[in-house]
Structure 1
Amino acid sequence: MSHIHILSIKEKLHSLITHPYLIKHIEYPIVDDDKLLLLYSILEEIDMPQDKKEQYILSTMLVQIALDTHDMVANSKANQLEEDQVINQQLTVLAGDYYSGLYYRLLAEVNDVSMIKTLAHAIKQINEHKIAYYQKDLEGMEILMESITKIESSLIESVSCYFSNVLLKDLSANFLLLKRLILERNLFCKENSSFLFETIRRISFAKGEKQEISKDQDTYLLYMLDRYIEHISKTINALMKSLPNKNKLLETRIEELFFEVPFSSKKYVEEG
């Protein structure tokens, strides 16, 4: 696996998403390096021309960027925004549509209608789970974790399934879930607020209990999340050992993520 090749694909991606008008008026899209690495890992062992592999990677990353760009649109009502904010929101929506159009174009070039359908199904899944998550329609921790997993990894999972790579499908899902949970935990510890933690609080405590937020509640929520982080970390370790081919770049990145695991969870993983 070549780090230089991944950087080359990333440069091509930046070239595709850099529109001279849009970058003057909206926030430049963030490229998720981990999802790029996972896609590269999935396609690395596939027997197909390198340029075609790149088309698949670029297409999927463009879908991710389009979804992330649409997420940047604030939920504020239009009549509560200043004129320049309204224009910014409209341009952000258009930018997301523009990136979606690029992904269709790239897959049309490789003439793969099946992949277009595969990614379209993943997009539908992501949007459905986002609606359930943000409208607080989820009941139970397992259902909540499943929704977060689908939001974070449906695109990568769909590509893994398309190319029949079940091991990397499971590894990708667990890796991206772990990354999200660590991010949410850090946010909660820093700002004492996180949408995920509020959702866990709602699920964990009865209405009468959750009206008054206590330190004991927060400690319990952190404990619960740490147990999930512990379990996911162990699962990732087991999946990495099952990979038939050594993947040094992915292994290194997973080790880096493990360094971000809270000490309490890390202690249990090491003891396990």
Structure 2
Amino acid sequence: MTAIYTNNEELKNIYDSFYLHVNHPYLNKYIKNPEIDEDQAEVLLLMLKEKDLSVTFIHDCILTTMLVQAALDIHETVDTHELGTSKLKTKRQLSVLGGDYYSSLYYYVLSKLENSSLIRAFARSIQEINESKMNIYKQHKKNAQPSLNDLKKIYSSVHINIAELLDLNDWSEGLEQFFLLKSLLKERFDLIESGKTGIIAQSLHQIMGNSLVKSETKPDTINYLNSYIALTDSNLKHFNWRNEEIQKIFQKRTTNLLLKYQLSEQCVVEEG
């Protein structure tokens, strides 16, 4: 979205602020700096620009979103298995502390805004994301298919709740489909390139009775992901955004995502 979005300097300032906040010399020795999802930031900026909001509010709202995501992401990396070496144990403990540290940062940023409605929107989002993750993990235990609604909430709950706060409810379905499509494409690409499984693929392995990726189940998993991708892409293409400019922005970004993850070429390879 960066290539077609005009507020690059504004976003750069927010990104710089994010890395300034998360920088911690001791944590940096053991865990990587969190990555920024530029689509999350740019879509949120697009939403906020629809309203007459201060530069400070826009900056802190996007910064908080990135800190929330950083906290959620790092907690997802914590290994729950027994770890033998003291170095690995230290890394696990610091990953937990790192997530808590990022959480404290977004609470701090939100407190400066003194906007109770925004605080409630973030609190509701975090609750929904964690509840959806727990629902999916419970489905894993039952060898059952995860709920598509739970997957959507994991990927787009923050944006949906902020859209509601901004009275942009007509964006909700489009936001759900966009972020779900992006996550599906990335997960499928990672599975093909490195065998890495995301939350959807892990669920599919459970359905097929496999807790790990195996050569005989990988094509089935990819085909299942393909069906999700095709459906989500179709839904997004038929969604009407509130004006032509926004429609073009999302259409172009969707096209770029499909090219980035080489969907068409990979589909031909798998089907062949």
TM over 0.5: yes
Partners of 1:199 and 1:8 lie apart in 2 by 38
Q: How does 1:157-176 map to 2 (within 5 A)?
A: 157-176=160-179
Q: How does 1:87-102 map to 2 (within 5 A)?
A: 87-102=90-105
Q: How does 1:218-233 map to 2 (within 5 A)?
A: 219-233=219-233
TM-aligned CA deviation for residue 100 of structure 1: 1.0
TM-aligned CA deviation for residue 184 of structure 1: 2.1
Q: Could you say if the C-alpha distance between residues 229 and 60 of structure 1 is closer, same or farther in structure 2, counting changes exceeding 3 Å?
A: same
Q: Could you say if the C-alpha distance between residues 198 and 158 of structure 1 is closer, same or farther in structure 2, counting changes exceeding 3 Å?
A: same
Q: Tell me which amino acid in the other structure corresponds to 1:17.
A: V
Partners of 1:221 and 1:228 lie apart in 2 by 11
User: Is 1:182 aligned with 2:185?
Assistant: yes
Q: How does 1:128-139 map to 2 (within 5 A)?
A: 128-135=131-138, 136-137=140-141
Partners of 1:86 and 1:67 lie apart in 2 by 20
Q: Please list the CA deviations of residues 60-82 of structure 1 after superposition, one character each: whole Å capped at 9, or x if unmatched.
A: 211111111211221122xx331
User: Is 1:52 aligned with 2:57?
Assistant: yes
TM-aligned CA deviation for residue 177 of structure 1: 0.9
Q: Tell me which amino acid in the other structure corresponds to 2:119.
A: I
Counterpart contact for 1:229–1:261, Cα < 8 Å: no
Aligned length: 257
| Sequence identity percentage | 26
> For structure 1, which segment, 18-27 or 104-113, has the greater mean C-alpha deviation from structure 2 after superposition?
18-27
TM-score of the superposed pair, with normalisation by structure 2 = 0.82
Counterpart contact for 1:152–1:177, Cα < 8 Å: yes
Residue of structure 1 equivalent to 2:3? none
Residue of structure 2 equivalent to 1:270? none
Q: Could you say if the C-alpha distance between residues 190 and 25 of structure 1 is closer, same or farther in structure 2, counting changes exceeding 3 Å?
A: closer
Q: Tell me which amino acid in the other structure corresponds to 2:71.
A: A
Q: Could you say if the C-alpha distance between residues 2 and 251 of structure 1 is closer, same or farther in structure 2, counting changes exceeding 3 Å?
A: farther
Partners of 1:179 and 1:190 lie apart in 2 by 16
TM-aligned CA deviation for residue 245 of structure 1: 5.2
User: Is 1:197 aligned with 2:201?
Assistant: yes
User: Is 1:113 aligned with 2:116?
Assistant: yes
Gaps of 5+ in 2: 1-5
Residue of structure 2 equivalent to 1:257? 257
Partners of 2:221 and 2:99 lie apart in 1 by 35
Q: Tell me which amino acid in the other structure corresponds to 1:236.
A: L
Residue of structure 2 equivalent to 1:243? 242
Partners of 1:154 and 1:65 lie apart in 2 by 15
Q: 2:148 aligns with which of 145, 152, 165?
A: 145
Residue of structure 2 equivalent to 1:83? 86
Q: Tell me which amino acid in the other structure corresponds to 1:246.
A: E
Residue of structure 2 equivalent to 1:71? 76
Gaps of 5+ in 1: 268-272
> For structure 1, which segment, 58-67 or 114-123, has the greater mean C-alpha deviation from structure 2 after superposition?
114-123
Secondary structure (helix, strand or coil) at the match of 1:246 reads helix
Alpha-carbon RMSD: 2.9
Q: Tell me which amino acid in the other structure corresponds to 1:254.
A: T
Partners of 2:182 and 2:48 lie apart in 1 by 22
Counterpart contact for 2:190–2:197, Cα < 8 Å: yes
Partners of 2:84 and 2:158 lie apart in 1 by 33
Q: Tell me which amino acid in the other structure corresponds to 2:169.
A: V
Partners of 1:72 and 1:193 lie apart in 2 by 13
TM-score of the superposed pair, with normalisation by structure 1 = 0.82
Q: Tell me which amino acid in the other structure corresponds to 1:171.
A: G
